[in-house]
Copies of this chain bind each other. A is one copy, B any other.
Amino acid sequence: MNRGRLEAFSDGVLAIIITIMVLELKVPAGDTLAALAPMRSAFLAYVLSFVYVGIYWNNHHHLVHTVKQVSGPIMWANLHLLFWLSLFPVVTAWAGNNPQAAWPSAIYGVVLLAAAIGYLILQRTIIRHGGGALDRIIGSDPKGRISPLLYLSGIGLAFVRPWISELLYALVAAIWLVPDRRIERALSAKE
């Protein structure tokens, strides 16, 4: 299997995830501005998850770009990442509809954490199967290291104040918003 098909399938799944999340934004029940008010937190959760999927799509591209031959382990590590990302719509809706509850915010964080671990596993798998270049490029990977800690804090703090954990999740998104320029530079240097 070549890289192109892995990219095409992943792009397809990510495009669908980012789009079906909007199906969880239910059409308002009334026809007044007041009918929109209860959607506020669901909308904010949608924005945050949209940004997250955008970040994963962007970094996924940079990451997979370093792969030469797609082996079985890489394919399954990729599907494992997509699995956790596929849960974004349901946990986004749950957290968005229950902004003041601890568990929805905590479970949202658990899925974010699982996706981050899935990304790290995919990264490791690519390095182990002939991605020597990637290894040097990523280096100490401070973002990849700090994110799980922030997610864990968010999960814990959801039981103190849910809005603190949501702020932490938004902070991680802000940290990642910049694409991984190390890979970008190394690649453009090589080409």
- Measuring CB to CB, which residues of chain A are less than 8 angstroms from any residue of chain B? 1, 5, 7-9, 11-28, 31-33, 35-36, 47, 50, 54, 57-58, 61-62, 65, 72, 75-76, 79, 82-83, 86-87, 89-90, 93-94, 97-98, 101, 103-104, 107, 177-179, 181
Contacts and interface: CB of A to CB of B under 8 A. Distances in A.
Contact of A27 (B14, B65, B86, B97): B97
A121 to B, nearest CB: 15
A188 to B, nearest CB: 9
A76 B54 contact: yes
Residue of A9, A36, A93, A107 most packed against chain B (CB within 10 A): A9
A107 B15 contact: no
A179 B36 CA distance: 35
Nearest to A78: B54
A23 B93 CA distance: 11
Contact of A32 (B7, B22, B35, B101): B101
Contact of A18 (B13, B58, B65): B13
A66 to B, nearest CB: 13
A26 B26 CA distance: 13
A168 to B, nearest CB: 19
Nearest to A80: B54
Contacts of A26: 90
Contact of A15 (B12, B90, B103, B178): B12
A22 B82 CA distance: 12
Contacts of A87: 22, 25
